[in-house]
Structure 1
Amino acid sequence: MPRTFDGSVGWPALRERYRDRLDAGTLAALDDAVAFAVARHGDQRRPAGEPYVEHLLEALEVLVEAAGERDADVLRAALLHDVVEDTPTTLEEVRSRFGDRTAELVGWVTKSGDRESYLASLRQAPDAALAVKLADRLSNVQRLRTHPRPAKRAAYYRETVATFVPLAAGRGFFEQWYRDWQAEHADLERGEQA
């Protein structure tokens, strides 16, 4: 069974957990990114009803705890990865507030145009952007069975297997996690309800 990450613990608890893993400058940078993301996403909710910020914290948790990421720009991008796509925030606002590299990473993982072109573009993404996207998708699918629409569960499973399982190949933790997740959720391929 693949590990499940839990953003419901909140940023203060995660921050305390990361005191010995991340330097003070990185923690301060993450404080700013969390505050910005919370302000911009407001009271948005995920499909199963949980506050949107929990998803952002889960992506961060995946990168810090499982992938061993310590780069502040990559970690901020995980917290901000949906801010351009799902709020009125522009990429220029992200660049002005958080710098070029964080904005570039957010740009890579922001959907633009049709979905197939976006998913295909991920094959050319830099490693850091791909790590953010793999952490994002991991958070999205780790509790796929809680999605309220069965047809969406099956479609999301198939898309994850077709696109993200191959992108995770050769990427240590991600490769193993997605392989285990795929096996555990194989019934969704057939549209079965577990």
Structure 2
Amino acid sequence: MGIGLRTFEAKAGWSGLRERLTGRLPEHDLVLLDEAVEFAVVWHADQVRPAGEPYVEHLLEVVCVLVDALETTDVDVLRAAVLHDVVEDTDCAPADVRRQFGQRVADLVEWVTKPEPTEGQLPAEARAAYLARLRAAPTDAIVVKLADRLSNVQRLDSHPRPEKRRSYYQETVRSIVPLAQTHPWFREWYATWDRTFGHLGADSSDAVG
């Protein structure tokens, strides 16, 4: 029997995750992450995920993937993981991220931020263009995106809308799994994930929002 799908969680919040990271990251870097988490919590406020959990759990799950699975210690990549949705899902501007966290973090966040449709562009077209653009992203941005999507799909059966489960599965296979092929850990994880949720590929559906 094959190994089951490895999942990541951050239900203990930042305090619990920070305690786990103590000794694995320099204290200076933990302070930098403190600032990023505080910034994200303020902007995301009372947002929740589709299954009802606080939004910050998703952000911290992405950090868990990078640290626990990839042993990432680059604090800019970890801060970008915490902040990856702040421009896309709140009124925070890219300039706010750049001013607070520097150009490199802002650039990584920009790569993984889905832009608003341009004039005359349908939302589905904007999303397809964003996903296609990721193929040209730098390695650090792709790693953040792969960890982000992992958090979103690791418990795909918990999404309350069946049609979203199917469309998210199909989009992940089509546009995200190819990005994982040059990253061995992610390649193996998404292969296991596909075996776990492959039944969702039986029906077609539009991509999720």
Alignment pair present for 1:11 and 2:6: no
Q: Deviations over 1:130-176 (max 9, x none)?
A: 01100100000001101111011000000001111110012021111
Question: Match for residue 91 of structure 1?
Answer: 94
Q: Which runs of 5+ in 1 are unaligned?
A: none
Question: Match for residue 57 of structure 1?
Answer: 60
Question: Match for residue 37 of structure 1?
Answer: 40
Question: Match for residue 127 of structure 1?
Answer: 139
Moved over 3 A (4+): none
Identity %: 57
Q: Distance in 2 between matches of 1:34 and 1:91?
A: 16
Q: Distance in 2 between matches of 1:149 and 1:13?
A: 31
Question: Match for residue 158 of structure 2?
Answer: 146
Give SS of 1:7's match.
coil
Question: Match for residue 116 of structure 1?
Answer: 128
Question: Match for residue 188 of structure 1?
Answer: 200
Q: Distance in 2 between matches of 1:106 and 1:32?
A: 16
Alignment pair present for 1:104 and 2:107: yes
Q: Distance in 1 between matches of 2:66 and 2:198?
A: 25
Letter of the 2:83 partner, please give it: L
Q: Distance in 2 between matches of 1:171 and 1:68?
A: 13
Q: Distance in 2 between matches of 1:70 and 1:109?
A: 20
How many residues end up aligned between the 2 structures?
Answer: 191
TM-score (norm 1): 0.97
Which residue of the other structure, out of 72, 76, 94, is the alignment partner of 1:73?
Answer: 76
RMSD: 0.8
Q: Deviations over 1:109-139 (max 9, x none)?
A: 0001400000000000000000110010000
Letter of the 1:137 partner, please give it: R
Q: Which runs of 5+ in 2 are unaligned?
A: 118-125, 204-209
Letter of the 2:50 partner, please give it: P
Q: Deviations over 1:72-102 (max 9, x none)?
A: 1100000000000000000000000000000
Q: Kindly state the Cα deviation for residue 178 of structure 1 after the two structures are TM-superposed.
A: 0.5
Q: Distance in 1 between matches of 2:109 and 2:162?
A: 30
Give SS of 1:20's match.
coil
Which residue of the other structure, out of 160, 181, 188, is the alignment partner of 1:176?
Answer: 188
Letter of the 1:188 partner, please give it: L
Letter of the 2:18 partner, please give it: R
